[in-house]
Amino acid sequence: MDCIFCKIANGEIPATKVYEDDTVLAFNDLEPQAPSHILVIPKAHIASAADIAPENSAVISHIFEVIAKIAKDNNFNDGFRVVNNCGDSAGQTVKHIHFHLMAGRDFTWPAG
Ligand code: AMP
Ligand code: ZN
């Protein structure tokens, strides 16, 4: 499968890793939208949030444990934003589920 985040997970494509364990990888986004902009992914391919099911959801809860750890380790004490874009209309460009973890500035709602 020609999936850029699978290739990052298996080392074929380089990335600046900030966290890694057996099932989850976190690395810096190439085009940061905040002073800190980290992508957190399962190493195993899940296409999008619409594909989460009982068989694969354990890694998703683990991702949120990892997000809390990264936030603590990087002193995101003022707050942070977690974003998942699911599907074309939401702007998902990479079809391997990923959570944007952004910090270091104020965020507006519902966009930006
Ligand atoms: P999304 O639009 O939600 O699918 O987010 C995809 C994100 O992946 C964007 O923020 C891109 O900047 C980022 N991205 C794409 N290719 C790479 C790469 N090789 N290394 C790091 N981040 C990437
Ligand atoms: Zn993939």
Is the C-beta atom of 84 inside 6 A of ligand 1? Answer: no
Cβ neighbourhood burial of 38 (10 Å; 0-12, 13-18, 19+) = buried
The span from the CA of 83 to the CA of 38, in Å, is 11
Which residue's alpha carbon is at the smallest distance from atom 12 of ligand 1? 31
**Antiparallel, parallel or unpaired: β 81-83 and 99-103:** antiparallel
Helix or strand or coil: residue 9? Answer: helix
Ligand nearest to the CA of 34: 1
The rounded distance, in Å, linking the Cα atoms of 42 and 62 is 9
Give residue 94's pLDDT. 98
- What does the DSSP assignment read for 15-72? --EEEE-SSEEEEE-SS-SSSEEEEEEESS----GGG--TTTTHHHHHHHHHHHHHHH
Compute mean pLDDT per 10 residues along the chain, 112 residues long, and list them.
Answer: 95 98 98 98 98 98 98 98 97 98 96 72
pLDDT score of 1? 77
pTM of the model: 0.98
Q: Which of 76, 75, 93 is nearest to 84 (CA)?
A: 93
The ligand with the least distance to the CA atom of 94 is 1
Ligand 2 is a single-atom ion; what residues have CB below 5 A from it? 3, 5-6, 45, 96
Alpha carbon of 29 to ligand 1 centroid (Å): 6
- Ligand 1 probe mutation, 4, 5, 30, 38, most atoms within 8 A of CB: 30
